Amino acid sequence: MVIAETDAEAERVGLAAHHRWASRIHHLVHKVGRPEHHKTDPHAPDSVQPLITGTPRTVLEKVQAMLHLTSANYLL
């Protein structure tokens, strides 16, 4: 989750950070020649680590929508 003064700035920072994380999560499976098994597209609904970015209001709306959709009772 990245919160910034503008949605565009949050998206830029978030995508850079998410790309770095995604490249690291598959390091060991690449090292032993195995296929990737985690979906890491930052905006895919079934991503293991979806990216939420925006202004405080935008992030609040996105989190509320995600909680409504998933019925989750916490975030990590």
Average pLDDT over residues 25-53: 83
Residues 19-37 pLDDT 10s: 998 888 878 778 888 877 7
Alpha helices (H) in the chain, listed in sequence order: 7-25, 27-31, 56-70
Question: Rounded mean pLDDT of the chain?
Answer: 89
What pLDDT sits at residue 33?
83
Q: How far is 29 from 5, CA to CA, in rounded Å?
A: 37
Average pLDDT over residues 52-70: 94
Q: Which region holds residue 21: left if phi is over 0, alpha if psi is between -120 and 50, else beta?
A: alpha
Indicate whether 75 belongs to any domain: no
Full domain range(s) for residue 63: 2-70
Indicate whether 15 belongs to any domain: yes
Indicate whether 59 belongs to any domain: yes
Indicate whether 76 belongs to any domain: no
Classify 11 as helix, strand or coil: helix
Could you give the number of structural domains in the chain? 1
Q: 35-47: buried (b, 16+ CB within 10 Å) or exposed (e) per residue?
A: eeeeebebeeeee
What pLDDT sits at residue 25?
81
Greater confidence (31 vs 8) lies with 8
